[in-house]
Amino acid sequence: MRRERRPSAGAVWGRVRACNDRGRRPNPREMAALSLALALIAALAVGVHLPGAPLWAALLSAGGVIAAGIAWARVFAHGRRTQAGVAALIIVLLGAGLVRGWAASHSPPSVVIPRGLIAGEVLGASVPGPRCRIDVDVGGERWRLEADPSACPRAAGERIWLRAEEVSRAEAAHLPWGRGSEDPRSGSVRRVYVDRIWRAPGLQGGVGERYFAWVAALRQRAWEASRGRPAESLVVGASLGMSSALAPELRAEVRGAGLGHLLAVSGLHVALAGMLVIGGISRVLAAVGWTRPEISLLGLGPVIAYVLLTGGAPSAVRAAVMLALVVLAATIGRPGHGPTILAVTAAALLIVWPQWAVDPGLQMSLAAMAALVHPRAPRGLVAQSWRVTWATLPVAIWHFGGGSLLGVVANLVALPIFCAWVLPLGILGIFGLGILGPAALGPAGIGAAIILDVSALLRRVPATPPELLAGIAAALLVGVLVVERRGRGPKRGASWRMIPGWRPPLVALAAVIVAVPLRSPSGGDGALTEDRWWVVGGGRRLEVVAPAVDGAGVAGICIDGPWLSPAARSGQLEHLGRPRAVVVRDPRGGPAEAEHRRLLESLGVWGPVGDGEAIRCAWPELSRRALSRLLRRCQRELGAHTALLRGDGDGAIECWRRDGWRRLVTDDVVDDDAAATAKKIGEEGAT
């Protein structure tokens, strides 16, 4: 009797890796599933982006689409039943997805905030940082709290008290360029900044609560162990998805070098964790003679636990679901089609969480994975980095106003170090903190220091203007069409043999060309005039933004005392029409000014005064002391922590509220040294 040949060690993981045959064409069932998933994704995205439509319009549109689908099926019922059925189902899904997306964008009425204290129950595990982040259930609503660091750690099942006055004050601090209080990524309907949290009795003892208590304690221990150590902070931030563990200036350097995806737990982290866990389990069990394909399913538990440990970002959840489908396909012995698995995964996630359709992280994750699982995608780190960079560039331009091609160079150096060194040793080090203390992060920190050095080096390279990116995309698009049409290169869709993977996705090139003019300066809501200035402050912080004026009019803006975060700065610049920033002054000194100039360079708006330019900054005539008093008055009237003022040359000063600008009475503002202060500021700011 012939004995069955045993697979070698690791054969099960080999089946998992080979389950996505990128070179083959999809069969009819996979093609139908791909079409249905894409239709559902498109409908959900459209529904989420149309929250202003009334209910009757959404229902009428969905009913009309479904009726058209039924009529389509009836017309093509003879001869081509399969194609007609798929087409009808696509139209039905379009209608259903439209309603589902619209319903998700219309949240139910919010909980009325009572006076006194508000009771809430913690969800998941807190995330430590300069502001401790906690998700709380309050009256059936999910709130995201940004609290004092001493509020951490907190875990699921704990009951807390909040002061109602602080909640109302936080909700009032909504600037015109800021995002609303809701957070689609976490599912919260309110984002609240509180100064104090009181713990109430009522800790539950279930398995989930104990797990999240362990997660919260582990995150807190890792956060404390990495304080004041940049390399170890990168290890903690990249391993646990806690980007706030890294100092803001280092965070800006890493993102400016095109390595921001290392700080946010994404498909790369989950895929690497799956390879280590599932591959390790399959090899260990195969070594003792157990080679059944079902053993790969044992590794899904640790992968899911890792996704929960890192906070369950949309991109990480997407990668975990795709990994589960890939493992299942390998278990039953039916290789899957990469684009179909990706589309089905995205459709399933958006059905459950439709508002994830507006999350930039998920959009970039889907774009990158679509470029990698394409049947004609090249192999090799350089070619894949080049292709992924172009695939994600339209999303970066649309959401952040610009992008960079330096990611190809940075990833070529950083990715091997990160995948083979930093992340594996970082996870082991985090679990070993209880025994070895901060020294457990040392081995991974050596590799992280190299990544920080690469980021600092590439951060000095000037940012690529969006217009130049559009020009490069147009040149590549023309080159692809010319080379393939004239037959000088390979056949259509293949890679050019001289430069493997040189051909970026054509859809991405076209999207870059379209996205740049759509995101170009449009004037925003803040009209730039020669005598208008803005002041934004929170607590003791105060920032003045004044127009930079030359002989022809407004030539840009001047910034004094910058303190806004990169995200808030990007929104402010969009509100003002993305003007050129010519002067930055920071009372903390030269290094702080240089760091903010680098931030403005990464946003594509920094343009210092050139030779022969005569530009002056039209600072307000009031001193910072008087402006601070006006800010405090605006804060008191709003009950908010952050306030925004604007003034004109005629002396009118307005305070921003959620429903528009309101004029402040300034008759009692006494500033005896206003003229001298204005003269001094004007002399210092003139260039």
The H or E element spanning position 121 is: strand 117-127
Question: What are the pLDDT digits (tens) for 574-591?
Answer: 788 888 899 899 888 877
- The pLDDT value given to residue 250: 83
Picking from 214, 248, 266, the residue at the C-terminal end of a domain is: 214
The answer as to whether 647 is a domain residue is yes
* Pick from 45-49, 109-113, 373-377: least confident: 109-113
The H or E element spanning position 663 is: strand 660-663
Distance CA 545, CA 581 (A): 10
Q: Tell me the C-alpha to C-alpha distance, in Å, between residue 399 and each of 90, 319, 370, 402.
A: 30, 22, 19, 8
- The pLDDT value given to residue 497: 45
Question: What are the pLDDT digits (tens) for 376-435?
Answer: 777 777 788 888 888 888 988 887 777 777 777 888 888 888 888 898 899 999 989 888
Domain that includes residue 542, residue range: 533-685
Picking from 155, 183, 214, the residue at the C-terminal end of a domain is: 214
- pLDDT at 280 exceeding the cut of 70: yes
Average pLDDT over residues 543-556: 88
- The pLDDT value given to residue 15: 46
The answer as to whether 291 is a domain residue is no
Question: How many other CB atoms sit within 10 Å of the CB of residue 58?
Answer: 19
Picking from 195, 214, 233, the residue at the C-terminal end of a domain is: 214
- The pLDDT value given to residue 135: 92
- The pLDDT value given to residue 61: 65
Average pLDDT, the chain: 78
- The pLDDT value given to residue 293: 64
DSSP-assigned letter for residue 161: E
- pLDDT at 515 exceeding the cut of 70: yes
Q: By the 8 A CB rule, do 101 and 47 touch?
A: yes
- The pLDDT value given to residue 490: 46
Percent of the chain with pLDDT over 90: 10
Record the pTM. 0.78
- Side chain identity at residue 418, one-letter code: F
Pairing of strands 159-163, 198-200: antiparallel
- The pLDDT value given to residue 172: 61
The answer as to whether 323 is a domain residue is no
Average pLDDT over residues 61-88: 61
Instruction: Collect all residues with Cβ–Cβ distance below 8 Å to 588 and sequence separation of at least 6.
Output: none
The answer as to whether 339 is a domain residue is no
* Pick from 132-136, 485-489, 495-499, 622-626: least confident: 495-499
- Judged by DSSP in three states, 281 sits in helix
* Pick from 132-141, 266-275, 284-293, 331-340: least confident: 284-293
- pLDDT at 597 exceeding the cut of 90: no
Half-sphere exposure of 553 (CA within 13 A, CB side): 3
Question: What are the pLDDT digits (tens) for 136-162?
Answer: 999 888 888 888 888 889 998 889 998
* Pick from 24-33, 251-260, 338-347, 527-536: least confident: 24-33
The answer as to whether 599 is a domain residue is yes
The answer as to whether 197 is a domain residue is yes
- The pLDDT value given to residue 205: 61
Question: What are the pLDDT digits (tens) for 346-368?
Answer: 999 999 888 888 888 888 888 88
Q: Which residue has the higher pLDDT, 324 or 282?
A: 324
The answer as to whether 160 is a domain residue is yes
The answer as to whether 243 is a domain residue is no
Sheet holding 117-127, edge to edge: 190-193, 141-147, 132-138, 117-127, 159-163, 198-200
Number of domains in the chain: 2
Binning pLDDT at 50, 70 and 90, where does residue 111 land? confident
Question: What are the pLDDT digits (tens) for 641-673?
Answer: 788 898 887 778 888 877 678 888 766 554 544
